[in-house]
């Protein structure tokens, strides 16, 4: 190593080195982005040259690790969504605590617990460290990751390091939360205006809009395999929604509607839920574009920051979005009533399950893509139907089985396409870093 090159390791006291050249870009150590070293390992350790590996092998290894972690969060998110759906149905239709906006406020507000719970888990893992050292490293990791998010670059300049990321994160939290709340609220507004079949089919077209917004905002390429996978998934949703004309149909968001031939104000309801579908797809892409670290960030760092941003959404909801509650109460549109007894306990379970699902979903988007995460969420339609079958004894219809299989096939096709795309991007990134390193030497 050249003696004139600055050290790649941050000193223990957390103060950055001054660059030797005025225009030199300060880089974070590669070890900060692999296996969560920045948040879990001592900053000072001996440096060694890694074993020589081809960019293809290294890229595949990194992508495979991300996918393994994402798979774990996917399974946890699917299980928690089923719990949240079944408890929401029970609360609204068995216990008759039908307060849609209040439930939306409580569930989204519960996201504020994601960061404290995460901090407790990290602290237990690193309990041998003093609290001062642990907290200093955690704050350093969140701050530098937020600076990467704002600059959209892994390599932070001296100017980036001295600029506070707080104003940017507050603005991003505000508009992402507003998009999410309007999208979620549209469901509850439209549920009594249109049929359950229309509600299910239109709202779950958000996977298509997520891909549509990914092209201009995330610079995604228009790929045939991705388009085909999204189309297959939406066809599966249409089969589930319209293939079975029973009197009562369970919708995937946990509300039950009567499948009438013509619901009152059906056109208005379809327009409202259509807007919600577009906004939900936009919310996913906005989160990926403006609140996720750039490609090349380690899985550990991405997970920690995703849950932290989820907490920011929860805090914004609690502090700002309570305002409609008294307005709705005074207008008589939704009278506020504190849940008691069994309703309170079931609501607590539903809220915790929703927070778990949402935290996992944010991590899933951060590690993969909004399109894959959106299609993965459609798997919950089939899972809820299976749980209802086991709970009520009513067998699955042919439409539910065929539609569910189409969604599963679409998910695996899209997973493979996204895996190859991420692998290729990682390989190109490693090749570029390798060439830049050779030039520096």
pLDDT digits (tens, 9 = 90+) for 118-170: 999 999 999 899 999 999 999 999 999 999 999 988 888 888 889 999 999 99
pLDDT of residue 17: 46
- Residue 433 makes CB contacts below 8 A (sequence gap 6+) with none
Q: How do residues 237-271 score in pLDDT, each as one tens digit?
A: 888 877 765 444 444 444 444 444 444 577 888 88
Alpha helices in 94-223 (DSSP H): 100-109, 114-125, 131-151, 158-162, 166-190, 196-203, 206-217
Alpha-carbon distance 111 to 180, whole Å?
13
pLDDT at 55: 56
Q: How confident is the model at residue 398 (pLDDT cuts 50, 70, 90)?
A: confident
Span 373-391, average pLDDT? 80
Please report how the helices 266-291 and 206-217 are oriented relative to each other, as an axis angle in degrees rounded to 10.
40
Which carries the bigger pLDDT value, residue 24 or residue 334? 334
CA distances from 380 to 55, 87, 189, 204, 388 (A): 37, 15, 22, 11, 12
The two structure tokens encoding residue 105 = 């406020």
**27 has a pLDDT exceeding 50:** no
Query: φ and ψ at 248, to 5 degrees?
Result: -130, 130
pLDDT greater than 50 at residue 46: no
pLDDT of residue 295: 81
Confidence of residue 67 (pLDDT cuts 50, 70, 90): confident
Rounded distance, CA 111 to CA 128, Å? Answer: 29
Residue 306 pLDDT: 94
Q: What is the per-residue pLDDT for 429?
A: 65
Q: Is the pLDDT of residue 192 over 70?
A: no
- Cβ contact 165:150 at 8 Å: yes
pLDDT of residue 47: 41
How far, in Å, CA of 380 to CA of 11, rounded? 47
Q: Which helix (H) or strand (E) holds 92?
A: helix 55-93
- Asked whether the beta carbons of 81 and 386 are under 8 A apart, the reply is no
Which has the closest alpha carbon to 99: 320, 288, 343?
343
Using CA atoms, how far apart are residues 48 and 42, in angstroms rounded to an integer?
15
pLDDT over 50 at 24, yes or no:
no
**257 beta partners:** 249
Radius of gyration in angstroms for the set of CA atoms belonging to the chain, rounded to a whole number: 24
Whether 40 shows a pLDDT value over 50: the answer reads no
pLDDT of 13 higher than 50: no
Instruction: Determine which of 73-87, 256-270, 362-376, 401-415 has the lowest per-residue pLDDT on average.
Output: 256-270
Identify the three-state secondary structure at position 243.
Answer: coil
Q: Which of 422, 192, 418, 171 is nearest to 312 (CA)?
A: 171
The pLDDT, as a whole number, for residue 121 is 93
Is the confidence at residue 10, as pLDDT, over 80?
Answer: no
pTM given for the model: 0.75
Digit-coded pLDDT (tens) for 203-235: 878 888 888 898 888 888 888 888 888 888 888
- Arithmetic mean of pLDDT over the chain: 78
Give pLDDT, residue 245: 53
What is the β-pairing status of strands 256-258 and 248-250? antiparallel
CA distance 417 to 226: 7
Q: Is the pLDDT of residue 359 over 70?
A: yes
Of the two residues 372 and 263, the one the predictor is more confident about is 372
Least-confidence region, from 24-38, 142-156, 314-328: 24-38
Higher per-residue pLDDT: 113 or 87: 113
pLDDT at 254: 43
pLDDT the model gives residue 349: 92
Residue 250, CA distances (Å) to 253, 278, 290 in order: 9, 22, 35
Which residues lie below 8 Å from residue 261, measured CB to CB, with a gap of 6+?
Answer: none
Average pLDDT rounded to a whole number, residues 372-397: 80
Which pLDDT value is given to residue 111? 94
Task: Report whether pLDDT(287) > 90.
Answer: yes
Worst-scoring range by mean pLDDT, 5-14, 100-109, 162-171, 379-388? 5-14
Cα→Cα distances 328→265, 322, 324, Å: 21, 11, 6
Q: Which of 307-311, 359-363, 370-374 has the highest mean pLDDT?
A: 307-311
From 53-62, 107-116, 237-246, the region with the lowest mean pLDDT: 53-62
């Amino acid at each position: 190593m050249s003696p004139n090159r600055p050290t790649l390791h941050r000193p223990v006291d957390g103060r950055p080195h001054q660059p030797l050249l005025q225009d030199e870009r300060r880089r974070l150590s590669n070890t900060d982005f692999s296996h969560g070293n920045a948040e879990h390992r001592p900053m000072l350790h001996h440096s060694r040259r890694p074993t020589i590996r081809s960019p293809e092998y290294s890229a595949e290894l990194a992508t495979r690790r991300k996918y393994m972690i994402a798979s774990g969060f996917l399974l946890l998110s699917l299980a928690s969504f089923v719990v949240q759906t079944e408890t929401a149905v029970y609360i609204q239709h068995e216990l008759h605590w039908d307060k849609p906006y209040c439930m939306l406020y409580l569930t989204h507000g519960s996201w504020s617990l994601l960061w404290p719970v995460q901090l407790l888990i990290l602290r237990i893992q690193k309990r041998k460290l003093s609290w001062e050292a642990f907290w200093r490293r955690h704050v350093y990791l969140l701050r530098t990751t937020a600076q990467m998010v704002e600059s959209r670059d892994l390599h932070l300049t001296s100017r980036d390091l001295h600029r506070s990321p707080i104003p940017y994160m507050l603005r991003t939290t505000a508009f992402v939360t507003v998009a999410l709340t309007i999208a979620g609220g549209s469901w509850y507004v439209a549920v009594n205006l249109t049929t359950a079949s229309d509600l299910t089919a239109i709202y779950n077209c958000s996977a298509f809009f997520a891909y549509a917004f990914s092209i201009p905002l995330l610079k995604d390429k228009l790929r045939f395999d991705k388009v085909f996978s999204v189309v297959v998934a939406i066809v599966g949703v249409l089969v589930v929604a319209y293939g079975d004309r029973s009197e009562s149909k369970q919708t995937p968001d946990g509300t039950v509607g009567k499948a009438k031939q013509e619901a009152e104000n059906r056109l208005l309801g379809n327009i409202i839920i259509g807007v919600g579908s577009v906004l939900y797809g936009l919310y996913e892409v906005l989160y990926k574009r403006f609140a996720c670290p750039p490609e090349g960030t380690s899985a550990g760092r991405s997970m920690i920051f995703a849950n932290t941003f989820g907490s920011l959404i929860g805090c914004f909801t609690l502090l700002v979005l309570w305002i409609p509650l008294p307005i709705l109460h005074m207008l008589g549109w939704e009278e506020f009533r504190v849940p008691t007894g069994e309703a309170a306990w079931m609501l607590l379970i539903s809220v915790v399950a929703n927070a778990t699902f949402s935290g996992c979903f944010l991590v899933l988007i951060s590690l993969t893509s909004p399109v894959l995460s959106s299609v993965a969420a459609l798997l919950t339609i089939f899972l809820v139907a299976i749980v209802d079958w086991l709970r009520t004894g009513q067998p699955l219809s042919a439409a539910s089985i065929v539609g569910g299989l189409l969604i599963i096939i679409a998910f695996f096709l899209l997973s493979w396409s996204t895996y190859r795309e991420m692998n290729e991007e990682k390989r190109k990134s490693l090749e570029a870093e390798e060439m830049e390193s050779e030039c520096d030497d």
